[in-house]
């Protein structure tokens, strides 16, 4: 039987941890007393088993379960169900790592573009990339377009919608996407420099497929999605079947999941096809530690079968002044996302944005 | 501006709570410094505002935000994004209640069947309902069908798939759904007593719509879905556009969300169309308190616009011996779900199942 390894951190006393791990293996597979299983096939081919148990803290253990890969049906939703379905409701359990067998790596081929093709599209071979966000909600399509034009002329590489910009009456998806892409096209003609617009997708599956079509018709070359809001299988279907451009994944609605961020954003979002993963940077409005952020970036870029790397996109409360520090931490394979930190410049928006671009370029020059 | 009220529990010192609440209002709406907003419309029509702040514990405050209903686009995913998108990543925040204005109650009409139509389908006017689960994973369609037949002959009202039974090679969706419904049809002809089979839906949106069709063709009269695995907008689309039978919602993959269970399962799942909501009962393998479970049931059944009530379905490690206690706690508007507690009877499965049915009937007789 082909094995999917799921690694959990379990809060338990040492005396109880073996029994607790066995109960978890049952919970995450057959979900009934193992002694009551009457089918030899089920017992042999679907019952989860406890692998290594390792103490990692006073009352914390790292427990590896061996789950049957066949129980996932090689489908995204059922994979998550096997990894963290019922045990998401058990407060002593945290999902910290996953090791995928070949059949699952094949079923989920990961980024179609990844870091390399994203760089190629932008014509930026080596330096860190720059990114900003169009906001606030409530701007009209023309106002968003005007804002996008300023950012583009300042030399930002990727301009994304704020993830709260959806399909609202005051700024319908089709109208704003066309306005923003038009503004970028005009800026590119002026500057001769490539810039990608990534509109935010939102809504039910049918609306999402329709938005992908509208964006493609408007010449849009990147997209933003929030996998946990649309649902992971919906995200995966959209990437596999509709989307023909790089996709950036946003972590909204997923922060409280008790799945380690490096695993969830760096490995699982990438597995499902994210070419770039936005995550809350340390030292901003969110509570991730620097170590978590570094591990996340390393995981997104590191080995995962033969999959392309995904670009780490730290964000959230970042400022232009922190660019040298962030480049020192993340190196060149990063896309720095500063939104409010640029917009707060008011009348000096263009200059602040240009400063951001220049500081990233200077960092690259220093590193060379 | 029409207001959506979102109520959070915030961990904060009293001196800081006002500023923290203001920051949360910004995070959950414009996501940029309010002072830097240059559009009068955006400031007036999309910026979140702080309502009541109430102390509920030493360092805990209940904070109500007034969000603009228009920012949700009256769409399920964006509604969740406004309520708990970015702040899901902030550990000091818990979403505890939501008060919906008329336009959102209209956009989400809730259960199409609810408690009343579910009772009518079963021909059970007043007593509590009984439910069990087909498991483990790994049984063949014929084995699952045989199991369903035993439960049906014993008089169980609703027989659902274990939520881990997906579309796996050893038991493909179409084959097992037909086998189980056939077994129930045969049992109904024998006993003259109605029983509903609720197969578990899983997969990407296209697979889900196809499974709904297959189930309808097989004569299936109820369905099971896991909204947080498929994605809430996908669940809502499925309910609104494809499903023509009562739907039961399962909490897998949603347990760690820091959204209060009565709100999430009792109000929001119901709002999106769940006719019955499965939740982990107190005193089993999960850690919900009895008070949480009672609040959840009360919320699912209580007032929500003009919406039909959703049937509470406590589950998880329950035993037949606890039936009198559970009936005393939940009353008659409940569907008791016992799975492993029946299956562990082994050769006495029919008798244990019949005992479950009889104890629920006896409880109804005592109450009458």
- Write out pLDDT tens, residues A280-307: 999 988 889 999 999 999 999 999 999 9
Residue A349: closest CA among chain B residues belongs to which residue?
B36
Half-sphere exposure of B168 (CA within 13 A, CB side): 25
Residue B365 pLDDT level (bands cut at 50, 70, 90):
confident
Question: What does the block give as tokens for B336?
Answer: 């008791």
Residue B316, min C-alpha distance to chain A (Å): 9
Cα A133 from chain centre:
16
For the question of whether the overall pTM of this predicted structure is more than 0.90, the answer is: yes
- In this prediction, residue B364 carries a pLDDT of 77
Query: What's the rounded mean pLDDT across residues A243-251?
Result: 98
A147, pLDDT greater than 70: yes
Chain B residues whose beta carbon lies within 8 Å of the beta carbon of residue A39: 136, 138-139, 143
Give dist(CA B206, CA B242) in Å, integer. Answer: 11
Helices B349-367 and B323-330, interaxial angle, to 10°?
Answer: 40
Q: For residue A137, give the nearest of B30, B202, B226 by CB distance.
A: B30
- The reply to whether B71 touches chain A by the CB within 8 Å rule is yes
- In this prediction, residue B140 carries a pLDDT of 97
Q: What φ, ψ does residue A111 adopt, rounded to 5°?
A: -60, 135
CB A8 within 8 A of CB A47: no
Q: What is the pLDDT of residues B253-291, one digit of tens each?
A: 998 889 999 999 999 999 999 999 999 999 988 889 999
- In this prediction, residue A4 carries a pLDDT of 98
Q: What's the full length of chain B, in residues?
A: 368
- In this prediction, residue A256 carries a pLDDT of 85
Q: For residue A88, give the nearest of B39, B75, B254 by CB distance.
A: B254
Q: For residue A90, give the nearest of B78, B169, B287 by CB distance.
A: B287
Q: What is the pLDDT of residues B164-216, one digit of tens each?
A: 999 999 999 999 999 999 999 999 999 999 999 999 999 999 999 999 999 99
Which residues, in sequence order, are bridge partners of residue B311? B276
Q: What is the pLDDT of residues A18-74, one digit of tens each?
A: 999 999 999 999 999 999 999 999 999 999 999 999 999 999 999 999 999 999 999
Residue B227: closest CA among chain A residues belongs to which residue?
A231
- In this prediction, residue A285 carries a pLDDT of 83
Q: Give, as one character, the DSSP assignment of residue A240.
A: I
B243, pLDDT greater than 90: yes
Largest distance between two CA atoms of chain A = 73
Query: What's the rounded mean pLDDT across residues A4-14?
Result: 97
B135:A84 CB<8 A: no
Which residues, in sequence order, are bridge partners of residue A312? A277
* ipTM associated with this complex: 0.96
B229:A81 CB<8 A: yes
A168:B71 CB<8 A: yes
Helices A141-154 and A173-191, interaxial angle, to 10°?
Answer: 30
CB B285 within 8 A of CB B110: no
> Within the 192-221 window of chain A, which residues sit less than 8 Å (CB to CB) from chain B?
202-207
Chain A residues whose beta carbon lies within 8 Å of the beta carbon of residue B76: 204
> Within the 75-104 window of chain B, which residues sit less than 8 Å (CB to CB) from chain A?
75-78, 80-82, 84-91
Q: What is the pLDDT of residues B122-170, one digit of tens each?
A: 999 989 999 999 999 999 999 999 999 999 999 999 999 999 999 999 9
Q: Give, as one character, the DSSP assignment of residue A47.
A: -
User: Which residue is it, tokens 């010449």?
Assistant: A219
User: Which residue is it, tokens 């009352």?
Assistant: A59
Residue A352 pLDDT level (bands cut at 50, 70, 90):
very high
- In this prediction, residue A232 carries a pLDDT of 98
A153, pLDDT greater than 90: yes
- In this prediction, residue B3 carries a pLDDT of 98
Residue A89: closest CA among chain B residues belongs to which residue?
B255
Give dist(CA A136, CA B47) in Å, integer. Answer: 9
Q: Give, as one character, the DSSP assignment of residue A65.
A: E
Cα B360 from chain centre:
22
For strand B276-280 and strand B247-249, is the pairing parallel, antiparallel, or unpaired? parallel
CB A30 within 8 A of CB A22: no
Query: What's the rounded mean pLDDT across residues A129-154?
Result: 98
- In this prediction, residue B368 carries a pLDDT of 66
CA angle A100, A104, A109 (to 5 degrees): 105
A343, pLDDT greater than 90: yes
- In this prediction, residue A368 carries a pLDDT of 65
- In this prediction, residue A364 carries a pLDDT of 77
To which H or E segment does residue A175 belong?
A: helix A173-191
Q: What is the pLDDT of residues A167-204, one digit of tens each?
A: 999 999 999 999 999 999 999 999 999 999 999 999 99
A80:B143 CB<8 A: no
| Mutate: best of B204, B241, B340, partner A, most A CBs <10 A | B204
The residues, ordered by sequence, that sit 6+ positions from B85 with a Cβ below 8 Å of its Cβ are: A163, A164, A226, A229, A252, A253, B28
Query: What's the rounded mean pLDDT across residues A86-91?
Result: 94
Give dist(CA A317, CA A299) in Å, integer. Answer: 23
Q: What is the pLDDT of residues B325-348, one digit of tens each?
A: 999 999 999 999 999 999 999 999
To which H or E segment does residue A53 belong?
A: strand A49-57
Cα A2 from chain centre:
27
The mean pLDDT of chain A is 96
B287-293 long-range contacts, CB within 8 A, separation 24+: B287/A89, B287/A90, B287/A91, B288/B261, B290/B329, B292/B260, B292/B261, B292/B262, B293/B329
- In this prediction, residue B84 carries a pLDDT of 97
Question: What does the block give as tokens for B285?
Answer: 């393998």
B367, pLDDT greater than 80: no
User: Which residue is it, tokens 């030292």?
Assistant: A283
- In this prediction, residue B150 carries a pLDDT of 98
CB B258 within 8 A of CB A92: no
Residue A366, min C-alpha distance to chain B (Å): 32
The residues, ordered by sequence, that sit 6+ positions from B227 with a Cβ below 8 Å of its Cβ are: B235, B249, B250, B254, B269, B272, B274
| Mutate: best of B28, B35, B36, partner A, most A CBs <10 A | B36
B253:A81 CB<8 A: yes
């Amino acid at each position: 039987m082909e094995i999917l390894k799921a690694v959990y951190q379990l809060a338990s006393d040492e005396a109880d941890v073996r029994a607790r791990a066995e109960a978890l293996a049952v919970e995450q597979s057959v979900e009934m007393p193992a002694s009551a299983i009457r089918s030899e096939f089920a017992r042999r081919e679907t019952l989860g088993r406890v692998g290594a148990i390792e103490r990692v803290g006073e009352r914390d253990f790292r427990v590896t379960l061996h789950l049957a890969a066949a129980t996932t049906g090689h489908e995204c939703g059922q994979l998550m169900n096997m990894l963290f379905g019922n045990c998401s409701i058990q407060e002593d359990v945290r999902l910290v790592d996953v090791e995928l067998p070949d059949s699952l790596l094949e079923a989920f081929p990961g980024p179609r573009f990844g870091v390399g093709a994203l760089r190629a599209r932008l014509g930026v071979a080596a330096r860190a990339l720059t990114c900003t966000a169009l906001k606030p909600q409530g701007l009209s399509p023309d106002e968003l377009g005007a804002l996008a034009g300023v950012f583009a002329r300042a030399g930002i590489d990727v301009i994304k919608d704020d993830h709260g910009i959806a399909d609202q009456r005051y700024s319908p998806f089709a109208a704003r996407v066309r306005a923003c892409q038009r503004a970028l096209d005009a800026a590119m003609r002026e500057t001769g420099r490539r810039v990608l617009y990534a509109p935010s997708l939102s809504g039910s599956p049918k609306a999402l497929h329709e938005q992908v079509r509208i964006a493609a018709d408007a010449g849009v070359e990147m997209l933003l999605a929030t996998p946990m809001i649309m649902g992971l299988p919906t995200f995966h279907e959209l990437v596999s079947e509709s989307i023909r451009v790089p996709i950036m994944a946003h972590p909204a609605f997923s922060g409280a999941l008790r799945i380690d961020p490096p695993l969830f954003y760096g490995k699982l979002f990438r597995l499902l096809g994210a070419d770039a993963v936005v995550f809350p940077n340390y030292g901003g409005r969110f509570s991730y530690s620097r170590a978590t952020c570094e591990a996340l970036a390393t995981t997104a870029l590191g080995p995962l079968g033969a999959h392309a790397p995904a670009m780490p996109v730290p964000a959230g409360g970042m400022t232009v002044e922190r660019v040298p520090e962030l480049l020192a931490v993340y190196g060149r394979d990063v896309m720095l996302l500063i939104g409010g930190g640029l917009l707060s410049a008011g009348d000096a928006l263009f200059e602040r944005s240009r400063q951001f671009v220049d500081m990233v370029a200077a960092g690259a020059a220093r590193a060379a």
